[in-house]
Every structure is written in C-alpha cells, then in structure tokens.
Amino acid sequence: MSAPASSRPPTLDEVAERAQVSRTVASRVINNGPHVSRAKRDAVQKAIRELGYTPNRTARALATRQTGVVVLAISGDGPGVFADPFFAQIIVGACAALERTELHLMLSLASPGHGRRRLENLLQTRGADGVMLAALRGDDALIDIAARAGLPTVFIGLPVRGTPPFYVEVDNAGGARAATEHLIGGGRRRIAMIAGPDDTAVGRERRRGCAEALTLAGLAPYAVEPGDFTEAGGAAAMRALLSAHPDLDAVVAANDNMAAGALRVLRAAGRSVPGDVAVTGFDDLPVATHTDPQLTTVHQPVQALGREAARMLVDLLDGGRPAPLVVPTTVVVRESA
C-alpha cells in the first residue's frame, strides 16, 4: 500500500492508525522505548516505511530527553591538538561512524581551566547524550567530569590508572616490542628510546614494549630520553642522546613526530640513517612518508580508533553493552631501519 497523496508529511497518528496500535505504542517504537511486543514493533516499523514517516527531531528529543549530540573531548589546548595529524584522523574516523546516524559530533578541546569548566557544564546539564575521551594525562580531570555526569562514556586509549568498562585501545606495548625486535634482527645492539610522556598510558606501554624486546634478546636497556610526542621534543631528546651516548646505533621513537625530529638532528650531526643510526617511529601517519629517509614505523589504524569508539558509543546509547576493543599493530618497513 502506498502513502496517501498529500503535500504534508505523514503524522504519528497516521502511523498508529496504519499499524492498528495506539499513539503511545507508536511513539515508543519510534523512540526505541521498552515494553512493546515484537508484533506491534514490526507493525509500526512497516507503517513507517509505507508512509515515509520521518520523526520530528525536536519532538523526539523532548520525548526521549536526548539532544542528538555526542562529544569528543580531547584533553589539551587548541594549537597542540590541531598541529598533530593524529587527532585529525581520530575526528575523521568518528565522523564516518556517525554519518549514518542522527547524531552530531561536537569537538571539545578541554584545556585546563575554562575549557574543562565549559565541558563539565555541558555534560552536567545534559547538553550531550554521550562522550568520548581522548589524550588523557595522569589523573586527568576529564575522567571525573565524565563520571559525575553519568553519561555513556568511551575512552580512546586507556587512562594511566584503572580500566574503564568501555574503551578502544591500540596494542602499544606489542607494537613497540615489534619495532625493537626489527632493529635487533638488523644487528643493532645499542638501541636507545625516545619515550612518550610518562603520565600517559601510551607512553608507558610503548616504553614497556621496547624494554621487553631488549630483555628477551639479552640486551640491557641502553638509554631512554623522555619526549612529548612533538617533533621539537623528539629533536631535543635526540640531541641529548647523542651527547650522552654518541655510539648509539638505533633509536626507537614513541611516535612519528618525534622520529621526524630525531632524523633532522641526526642529519645535522652528520650521522647517516640507517647506516650509522637506524630509526623507527610509531603511528604510520603521513609524516612517515615525508621524511628523508622515509620512516620505518609501527602502523596503527588511527581512523579506526575514532570510528570504533563512535560505534561503541552509539551501541551504548542504543542500550547495548559492547566489549572493549584492542586494535593490533604492524611494523611497516621503509628506508630508515
């Protein structure tokens, strides 16, 4: 049966009449409400298809107390976030997952102070239906802000302490271990690391993976220099390593940005790569193919992190209880090691 010829859109009452149910039952089906039999739910959904009914977003939001908005909250300031292509890929992935839903993505750069207060106010006043948290540092205030709001929450990357029920994570330790094993397999023995910040789970896990590979090969940890995941930080760490350990023959950098900074310093110091010093990164972002030489690195599907986190959040909003996800990594061999 086709929809009635009319210039106006069909109404909820017409859906209920077509399905031979009450208006209340039709509303419950449309808003994914409980206590509706499978037969009545199927009848309403069939009527919706036949009539071409589209729920009024405003009315639906009022009925379900939902805003149609989910938040991606990144702990940090604007310049730092937008300078890092990692977060751009996360955003692209999340947007792709939400494209076929009626949910809108709101980006919150929750810098200390006003940024976090603004996010807390948004969540406490139910200005969003759920939240994804990324780039957490130490005992990050974002964790408590999300917990107090009581909204469905998905972590992109684990916090330093505790394991939340819903998260998407990369096998950071396994990736760093594989990169170090690649260097060892190439005959490198004096392997230094430019580590990520110790107040991040990512930094700690990648450092642990590198140390495990050295231990399993019977090699003592050679040298570790802290970095901050930026190219400038990688350059500074590389200068410090060359000064203290001029005979090093390989460097494991905890991300591609720091590896790019290390390559720049090695070139300026007259060290050939990979002849004198082999270098690996982590992430496999576009910068890895723009360095000279191109960077051997650990590939993690960054867009997939954002996409799977958004899918997990949608599942939570639909009443599901999704399992945490750990994404595998692979070593991509290029010219630097």
pTM of the entire structure? 0.77
User: Is residue 333 a part of any domain in this protein?
Assistant: no
Q: How far is CA 137 from the centre of its chain?
A: 14
ω into 159 cis (within 30 of 0): no
Q: Which residue range(s) make up the domain with 35?
A: 12-64
User: Is residue 47 a part of any domain in this protein?
Assistant: yes
User: Is residue 334 a part of any domain in this protein?
Assistant: no
Q: Which element (helix H / strand E) includes 6? A: none
Q: Are residues 127 and 143 in the same domain?
A: yes
Q: Do 254 and 198 form a contact (C-beta atoms < 8 A)?
A: no
Please tell me what DSSP assigns to residue 336: -
Out of 49, 64, 79, a domain closes at 64
Instruction: Give the pLDDT band (50/70/90) at residue 317.
Output: confident
User: Is residue 335 a part of any domain in this protein?
Assistant: no
pLDDT tens digits, 73-105: 888 766 666 667 888 899 999 999 998 787 889
Q: How far apart, in whole angstroms, are the C-alpha atoms of residue 327 and residue 322?
A: 15
Q: What percent of the chain has pLDDT over 70?
A: 91
The tally of domains found in the chain comes to: 3
**By CB neighbour count within 10 A (0-12 exposed, 13-18 middle, 19+ buried), where does 104 fall?**
middle
Q: Are residues 186 and 244 in the same domain?
A: yes
User: Is residue 6 a part of any domain in this protein?
Assistant: no
Q: Are residues 150 and 221 in the same domain?
A: no
Q: Do 257 and 231 form a contact (C-beta atoms < 8 A)?
A: yes
Q: What is the CATH number of the domain that holds 108?
A: 3.40.50.2300
CA geometry: angle 230, 232, 233, nearest 5 deg: 65
Q: Are residues 193 and 224 in the same domain?
A: yes
More confident residue, 173 or 126: 173
Q: How far apart, in whole angstroms, are the C-alpha atoms of residue 79 and residue 76?
A: 9
Range name among 108-122, 184-198, 273-287 with the lowest pLDDT average: 108-122
Q: Are residues 40 and 156 in the same domain?
A: no
Assigned token pair, 289? 């193919």
Q: Do 296 and 330 form a contact (C-beta atoms < 8 A)?
A: no
User: Is residue 3 a part of any domain in this protein?
Assistant: no
Q: Do 206 and 194 form a contact (C-beta atoms < 8 A)?
A: no
Q: Are residues 216 and 229 in the same domain?
A: yes
Q: Are residues 280 and 177 in the same domain?
A: yes
Q: Are residues 36 and 107 in the same domain?
A: no
pLDDT over 60 at 57, yes or no: no
Q: Are residues 133 and 180 in the same domain?
A: no
Write the single-letter amino acid at 47. Answer: A
Q: Are residues 122 and 238 in the same domain?
A: no
